């Protein structure tokens, strides 16, 4: 889980405050000291930490908070609000050009995940109805062009490349190609270096001057802490950036980059990479991220993922048929949709109150493979009519799926529970006209 260490430490510090019936200024100071240590250990910029704790302490020590009936809850609310402001306050959307194509130029150090993020962003924009084109302008890193082509093919987005010709000319040619072939978004993947150098910055300035991008987006590795923020500041001073794309947020991210970059560089985080798959990208919402860090959950993102993963027509058909007609094919389909939502650990971490409790807990993400194997070992008739699964059939299915009869029995119990849950949901969500409403 992202920010696991920071989330644990902040939860521990704030829980000491919430356990008090009455808050005093001394208690607030002690609490802020622990919050300060937690943020510094997460590699958040020292000046950012100092300013953050000062603002929180000033608000917490106001009479309206100290005299409140629920002072501890007021403190958590203040910490949440200040952390949200620290990361930008609200989701910073991409801006669009009045000319076609809208051009986004990605830059960053080598190894930050820039090429993968370019493909992820292209895939995300394509889902919103855009027609993106990727331009391969990294001619130095071995196989960089090939990597972008492979990722583009996986995302079903075309890639424009001209080999090792001058990347400035490639960018200009890509713009002309996009106009000729009706591609309304162009994402330029530029070369990175292991460190900032004058040659890199000069090439980036030349590409920017020739392509005139709508936005220059700096790609930051979330695992590098505040060092990445220092690099972002240097890029902003030498090139001028408009926003930040945060990668590897699913790893052991301490939080330094996410919590420091807006305050230090003054540029918002626009998207974050949350996994290795190409669809593991989401708009960065400071309020939702603050909620996750503080263990308050992120139900809005969870609902959005559910809406994206579940086919509306399929859900409607399932509702019309009702729980009695639920088949094992339906059960398998729902498991497939669950996998699209990013894994069980990711989903549970967004549930209010579960984030900090899951810290350090290992959840077997392969647990769904066994029931899938069992269902796929059944005949079409058995999937459609589970009632015919007698002892001999279950023994055959267990042998065919490499599992045991106990595993088959356990799956059938889960299936029956799912039917009961569906029946209860339908009974609780029927509208006046007798039609079930979706839970989101």
Residue range 123-167, pLDDT digits in tens: 999 999 999 999 999 998 888 999 999 999 999 999 999 999 999
Contacts of 440 (CB under 8 A, 6+ apart): 303, 306, 307
CB environment 30-45: b (16+ within 10 A), e (fewer) = ebbebbbebbeebbbb
pLDDT (0 to 100) of residue 65 = 63
CATH 3.40.50.300 domain range(s) in the chain: 102-290
Classify residue 3 by its DSSP letter: T
The tokens describing 388, both together, are 């015919």
Which residues in the chain are classed under CATH 1.20.120.140? 4-86
The helix (H) or strand (E) run that includes residue 305 is helix 299-309
Beta partners for residue 217, in sequence order: 106, 243
The CATH code belonging to domain 4-86 is 1.20.120.140
Candidates 334, 315, 317, 342; CA nearest to 414 is 334
112 close to 217: Cβ distance less than 8 angstroms: no
Rg, Å, the chain Cα set:
26
Each residue's pLDDT tens digit in the chain (440 positions)? 456 677 778 877 777 766 666 677 787 788 888 888 888 888 888 888 999 999 988 888 776 665 665 666 777 788 888 888 988 888 889 999 999 999 999 998 888 889 999 999 999 999 999 999 999 999 988 889 999 999 999 999 999 999 999 999 999 999 999 999 999 999 999 998 777 778 888 999 999 999 999 999 999 887 777 777 888 888 998 899 999 998 887 665 566 777 888 888 889 999 988 888 888 898 988 888 888 777 665 445 555 555 554 455 555 555 555 555 678 887 787 776 666 555 555 555 555 444 445 444 455 555 667 888 999 999 999 988 888 999 999 999 999 999 999 999 988 988 888 777 666 655 554 444 444 333 33
Query: What are the Cα distances from residue 330, in Å, to 177, 278, 390?
Result: 44, 26, 21
pLDDT at 429: 46
CA distance readout (Å), 406 to 367, 374, 415, 418: 15, 11, 14, 18
Quote the pLDDT of residue 298.
Answer: 46
> Is 336 exposed, middle or buried, given 0-12, 13-18 or 19+ CB atoms closer than 10 A?
exposed
Average confidence score pLDDT of the chain = 80
Strands 215-221 and 269-273: unpaired
The answer regarding whether domain 102-290 maps to CATH 3.40.50.300 reads yes
What's the pLDDT at 142? 82
Q: Are 193 and 219 in contact (CB under 8 A)?
A: no
Structure tokens at 291: 């909620």
Reply yes or no: is the peptide bond before residue 412 cis, omega within 30 of 0: no
Note the pLDDT tens digit of each residue in 305-356: 555 544 555 555 555 555 556 788 877 877 766 665 555 555 555 554 444 4
Question: What percentage of the chain reaches a pLDDT higher than 70?
Answer: 75
Contact 175, 214 (CB under 8 A): no
Contact 197/209 with Cβ under 8 angstroms? no
Q: Where in the chain is the domain with CATH 1.10.260.30?
A: 302-429
Residue 340: the pLDDT is 59
Locate tokens 């015919």: which residue?
Answer: 388
Total Cβ atoms within 10 A of residue 245:
25
Instruction: Pick 302-429's CATH classification: 1.10.260.30, 3.40.50.300, 3.40.50.720, 3.20.20.70.
Output: 1.10.260.30
């Amino acid at each position: 889980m992202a920010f696991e260490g920071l989330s644990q430490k902040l939860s521990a510090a704030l829980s000491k405050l919430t356990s008090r019936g009455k808050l005093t200024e001394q208690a607030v100071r002690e609490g802020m000291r622990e919050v300060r240590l937690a943020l510094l250990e997460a590699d958040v910029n020292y000046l950012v930490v100092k300013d953050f704790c000062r603002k929180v302490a000033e608000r917490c020590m106001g009479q309206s908070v100290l005299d409140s009936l629920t002072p501890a809850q007021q403190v958590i609310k203040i910490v949440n609000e200040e952390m949200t402001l620290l990361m930008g306050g609200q989701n910073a959307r991409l801006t669009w050009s009045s000319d076609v194509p809208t051009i986004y130029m990605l830059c960053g150090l080598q190894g930050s995940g820039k090429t993968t993020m370019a493909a992820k962003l292209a895939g995300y924009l394509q889902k919103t109805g855009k027609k993106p084109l990727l331009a391969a302008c990294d001619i130095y890193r071995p196989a960089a062009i090939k990597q972008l082509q492979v990722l583009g093919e996986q995302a079903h987005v075309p890639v424009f490349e001209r080999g090792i010709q001058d990347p400035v000319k490639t960018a200009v040619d890509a713009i002309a190609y996009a106009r000729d072939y009706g591609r309304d978004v162009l994402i330029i993947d530029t070369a990175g270096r292991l460190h900032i150098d004058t040659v890199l910055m000069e090439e980036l300035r030349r590409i920017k001057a020739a392509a005139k991008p709508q936005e220059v987006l700096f790609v930051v590795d979330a695992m590098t802490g505040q060092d990445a923020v220092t690099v972002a500041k240097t890029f902003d001073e030498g090139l001028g950036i408009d926003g930040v794309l945060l990668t590897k947020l699913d790893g052991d991210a301490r939080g330094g980059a996410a919590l420091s970059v807006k305050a230090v560089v003054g540029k918002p985080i626009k998207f974050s990479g949350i996994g290795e798959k190409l669809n593991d990208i989401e708009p960065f919402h400071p309020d939702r991220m603050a909620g996750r860090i503080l263990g308050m959950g992120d139900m809005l993102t969870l609902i959005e993922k559910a809406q994206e993963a579940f086919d509306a027509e399929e859900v409607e058909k399932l509702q019309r048929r009702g729980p009695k007609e639920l088949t094992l094919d339906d059960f398998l389909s729902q498991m497939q949709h669950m996998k699209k939502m990013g894994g069980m650990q990711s989903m549970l971490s967004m549930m209010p109150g579960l984030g900090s409790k899951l810290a350090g807990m290992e959840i077997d993400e392969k647990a769904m493979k066994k029931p899938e194997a069992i269902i796929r070992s059944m005949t079409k008739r058995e999937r459609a009519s589970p009632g015919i699964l007698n002892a001999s059939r279950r023994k055959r299915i267990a042998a065919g799926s490499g599992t045991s009869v106990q595993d088959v029995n356990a799956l059938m119990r889960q299936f029956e529970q799912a039917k009961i849950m569906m029946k209860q949901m339908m009974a609780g969500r029927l509208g006046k006209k007798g039609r079930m409403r979706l839970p989101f």
